[in-house]
Amino acid sequence: MSFRVLTKSFVSQRLTPSLLHRTFATKKYTPSHEWISIDKNIGTVGITEYAQNSLGDVVYVEVPEEGTEVELGDVVGAVESVKSASDIYSPLTGEIVEANQAVTEKTKLINSAPETDGWLFKVKFTNQEEVDNLLDEAAYKKLTEADH
Amino acid sequence: MLCRILRKSDPESFVLYLWRNRPTIVIGRNQNPWKECNLKMMASRNVLLARRTSGGGSVYHDMGNSNYTVVMPREAFTRDKCAEMVSRALHHADIPAYVNERHDVTVEGRKISGSAFKLTNKRAFHHGTMLIDTDLGRLHGCLHSEAKDDIEALGVESVRSVVTNLREYSLSIDHLTFCQAVMREFGRTFGKLDVGRNVTVWDESDTDVVGMVEEERKRISTWKWLYGQTPRFVHRFGGVVGGKPVVAKVSVYHGHVTEVSLEYDAGQEDADDCGIFQMISDSLVDAPYVAADIRGCLGPISRESPAAAELCRWILEKIMEAASGDSA
C-alpha cells in the first residue's frame, strides 16, 4: 500500500503541477469521525472508514442543499444504517457549495468508498482557524485506537 | 419524543423513560408514510401518524403497547445492550424472551418488541416498543399500504415480522408490572437507581419543561416533519380509462409533487389527450401529495370535457389509495 502511494506521488510530481497539488491536499479529521480534505478554501467532507465500519450497511443518506450557510457543529445531514439514524455535522463554518447526489442514490458508496467516491458535501469555509483546530491524521488515528 | 429534554441531561448519565400513548403509527426518521401506512384506514379509525428522529421501521402503538427509551453516552452504546436488559426484565416475569439478530426482543421466534436508535455527537438513544395487549388486527391493517408495491422510494423500508402479545405468555403482565421490571433491571445494568434521589417528577408548574415539551410537540406534529421529511419517491399506477390503457407516474419530493407523466399505452394519445395530460401535470406540480389537495387541483380540469372528467376521477381514485393523509 505504501509503495503504491509513493509511486503515485512520484509520477504526479513528474507529470503536472495541478496533480501534484491534488495529491498533497491536506486531510483533516473530527472527533465525530468526519474527514475533511482541504483544497484552497474548499473542504470536502465525508465519514471515515472507521465510522462506516462501526455503522454497518448504510441504507439512507441525506446531504445538505447547495447554497446553505452552515456553522461549525450544525447538523447538515443524516446517515441511516441498521435501524440507527446518525447526524452528520458540519466541521467548518461557511457555505455548502456542492453535495454528492450520487451517494443518495447509491448509499452503498459510503461502505465501499467512504473516503473517496462516498464524499458527502463541499463547504466553502470562511474561518481558517477552524481548519487549524481539526485533528491531523496522527491525532485521529490515536483517537480511534483509544476507542477499541 | 422528549429528545430535546433528554439531550439536556448530563452527557455521562443513563436515563430511562417509560411511556405509552393512544393509537398511533410511528414511522422511522427516513421512511415514507404513503408506502408504510394505510393512511385511509388510519383516518377512519382515528389513528395518528408520528415520525421518530431514530431510524428503523414502522410500528403501531396503542395503550396495550408500552415504550421504553434509554439515553446513554455515545461510547456506551451497543445495539443489543438495552434489548438484552428488557429481555432479562421479562425473564423475571417468567417470559422466555431473547434478542434476535435484528436486535428485536422475541419469544418463540415471534417479535414482541422492536428497536430503533439515534446517534448524536455525545449521546445515543434506544427506543423500544413492547406489545403487551395490543390490538394486533389494527396493527396489521394500519401497517399495510394499498399502494406499497406501486411506490418506488429512497429511504428505509420496514421489514415485516411475525408479532405476538406478551398476554399470550403471561396473564399478569401489564404496563405497570412491565415498567417495574424494566426499572429494576435498568438499575442492575447501569447502576443502582435510587428512586428517592434519581427519579425526576415534572408537573405543570415546571414551566421550562412544559414550554419545551410544547415546542417539541409543535415541531414534530407539523406536516413538514410528518410528510415533508419523506425521501424522494415515485408512485406509478395504471388502468383503463375511456377504453384505453393508461399509465401514470407521479414523482414526489419533500411531500410535494415534482413531476407527473401520463400516457396511453402504445402511444394512442391524440392532440386533445396531450392537452389534457399537460393541464393535469401543470396543475399537480408543487401540490402536496394529499388527496384533498389533489382533488382541489383537478377540479377545474374535470370541467373541461367528459374525457377529462373521467381521467381526473381515475387519477384521484388511485391517489386516494395512497394519499388519504392529513392536508398540508
Handedness of CA A104, B226, B28, B83 (dihedral sign): positive
- Per-residue pLDDT of B116-155, as tens digits, reads 999 888 889 999 999 999 999 999 999 999 889 999 999 9
- Per-residue pLDDT of B20-45, as tens digits, reads 999 999 999 999 999 999 999 999 99
pLDDT at B11: 82
CATH code where residue B173 lies: 3.30.930.10
B181 — pLDDT class (breaks 50, 70, 90)? very high
**DSSP string computed for B226-242:** HTTTPPPEEEEEEEEET
Angstrom distance (rounded) from CA A44 to CA A37: 5
Angstrom distance (rounded) from CA B11 to CA B7: 8
Residues B126 and B164 in one domain: yes
Final residue before a domain boundary, out of B226, B261, B283:
B226
Angstrom distance (rounded) from CA B158 to CA B35: 10
A146 to chain B: nearest residue by CA? B75
Mutate to test the interface with B, among A30, A57, A83, A90 (most CBs of B within 10 A): A83
What amino acid occupies position A101? Q
Residues B193 and B68 in one domain: yes
For residue B30, which residues of chain A lie inside 8 Å, CB to CB?
A: 59-60, 62, 78, 80, 85
Domains in chain A, number: 1
Residues B141 and B20 in one domain: yes
Residues B91 and B154 in one domain: yes
Q: With a cut of 90, say whether residue B15 has pLDDT above it.
A: no
β-pair partners for A80: A60, A85
Angstrom distance (rounded) from CA A48 to CA A33: 6
Final residue before a domain boundary, out of B203, B226, B249:
B226
Percent of chain B exceeding pLDDT 90 equals 64
Residues B179 and B252 in one domain: no
For residue A91, which residues of chain B lie inside 8 Å, CB to CB?
A: none
Tell me if A84 and B53 make a contact (CB, 8 A cut-off): no
**How far does the CA of residue A116 sit from the closest CA of chain B (Å)?**
22
Q: H/E element holding B17?
A: strand B15-19
Tell me if B103 and A81 make a contact (CB, 8 A cut-off): no
**B327 inside domain:** no
Q: Compare CB distances from B117 to A59, A78, A84 and report the shortest one's residue.
A: A84
Residues B210 and B295 in one domain: no
- Per-residue pLDDT of A47-87, as tens digits, reads 999 999 988 999 999 999 999 999 999 999 999 998 999 98
**A2 inside domain:** no
Domains in chain B, number: 2
**B177 inside domain:** yes
Angstrom distance (rounded) from CA B293 to CA B296: 5
**A17 inside domain:** no
Q: With a cut of 70, say whether residue A19 has pLDDT above it.
A: no
Alpha helices by DSSP H, listed for A1-148, are 2-15, 17-23, 49-55, 101-105, 108-112, 128-133, 137-147
**A103 inside domain:** yes
Residues B184 and B297 in one domain: no
Closest CA to B37 of B293, B321, B273: B321
pLDDT at B193: 65
Q: Compare CB distances from A59 to B53, B75, B156 and report the shortest one's residue.
A: B156
pLDDT at B192: 66
Final residue before a domain boundary, out of B196, B226, B256:
B226
Match 411475525 to its residue by C-alpha cell. B162
By the 8 A CB rule, do B286 and B115 touch?
A: no
By the 8 A CB rule, do A55 and A49 touch?
A: no
Residues B84 and B144 in one domain: yes
Tell me the residue range of the domain where B98 lies. 3-226
A31 to chain B: nearest residue by CA? B121
Residues B243 and B218 in one domain: no
Q: What is the ipTM of this complex?
A: 0.84
**B328 inside domain:** no
What are the φ/ψ torsions at residue B168 (nearest 5 degrees)? -65, -20
**pTM score:** 0.87
pLDDT at B323: 77
Residues B194 and B156 in one domain: yes
Average of per-residue pLDDT across B244-254: 93
Residues B152 and B195 in one domain: yes
Q: H/E element holding B217?
A: helix B207-220
